Amino acid sequence: MILVDDMLAVAFQYRDTELWKELTDSDVFAFRLSDGETGYCCVMGNAGEHLALGFYRGRKGFTTYLKTISLGNAHLSEIEMFEMTTTFDCINCDFMQASDMDVKTKKIIRNYADAHKLKIRRSKGWPDFTRHQPGKMQYGITCMEDARDIVEALRAAIAVAAKVTTSDFVKLGFDVNGNYPTAKGGKSVPYLIPNSDGTYEWNITQLPAFLPDECIAPKFANDILAGEMKKLPVSGTLQMKYLHMPTPIDADEDEAPYLPTVLLCLDTASELVFPILTQNALNNNPEELLLKLVNVLREQGNKPHAIEVEDNKTEFLLKDFCSRCGIRLSRKKELPEIGDACFFLFSNFMM
């Protein structure tokens, strides 16, 4: 995990600004990163509960912000909410109580504060950097590019804090009504361009639109197995769901744990449920899942007449496989049976 002096220096400076007293989490601002990409920031803490700066890199990252503000209105199940969180791509600089900090991290911060004669605020004064990456558990920062980005984000936020106390809120580009950005994009927000002397030029830019998740559509390229599958006798219907398990698998040292994927299968006649897991959870290889599905069907000596699914991700996973193996793939609006099976699985494996 990376926790360098630059990160701590700007985190403590940002904490002292108490910018959340001036901005809410709807008051997004943008800035130009040193590599030319656009970063987006959300200030959290106006209600006094969760003090943080959220950083979102580019359109893909900003889509994470749009997802977070829709969570309360989306009427999602616990499993659907979990699946959404596995797509998040952002960095948070949170401010925690001392009792909530990891011992190793706490020691690094304490040594830095003592060396620079800094007093750590008693209420939520300990900076904690959290990286959210698709398909992984939230973790600390593990690459220098991410460390650089969050430092630049905090510097931009410090500049915003200095400006909002002396300048007209609307002229800076903020929405006086405090409306949240929407999925269609286009909302105008402040855009800060850094100068070489550490100051910023202030401009206005428009927020990007929501970027839909990219669904994996693997090709089932094994001609021999496809031919064998076509010859199998047909029997019944299977319902399937492709999702992440909530049980993280440790990666290499100082790498975020991975969330393994599973193809959950339900025989609608017998109500038998069987999960198909990737062997190498770190790769989350959809082709491996399909090969394991073939082995299960070959062992039982038949294939389903139809496979029913209810979401894009599972449909895309199975589309080419079903086409080449002579299985009808059917999309349904709701499949309560497979939903119950998912709930049972999560109830037993959720941390």
**In the chain, where the domains are located:** 5-207, 223-350
Give this prediction's pTM: 0.92
pLDDT score at 150: 98
CATH top-level class for 223-350? alpha beta
pLDDT score at 279: 57
pLDDT in tens, the chain (351 residues): 899 999 999 999 999 999 999 999 999 999 999 999 999 999 999 988 899 999 999 999 999 999 998 876 667 888 888 999 999 999 999 999 999 999 999 999 999 999 999 999 988 999 999 999 999 999 999 999 999 999 999 999 999 999 998 999 999 999 999 999 999 999 999 999 999 999 999 999 999 999 999 888 899 999 999 999 999 999 999 999 999 988 888 877 778 998 888 999 999 999 899 988 875 555 568 888 999 999 999 999 999 999 999 999 999 999 999 999 999 999 999 999 998 988 888 777 654
| Residues in Cβ contact with 74 at an 8 Å cutoff, skipping those fewer than 6 apart | 80
Share of the chain above pLDDT 70, in %: 97
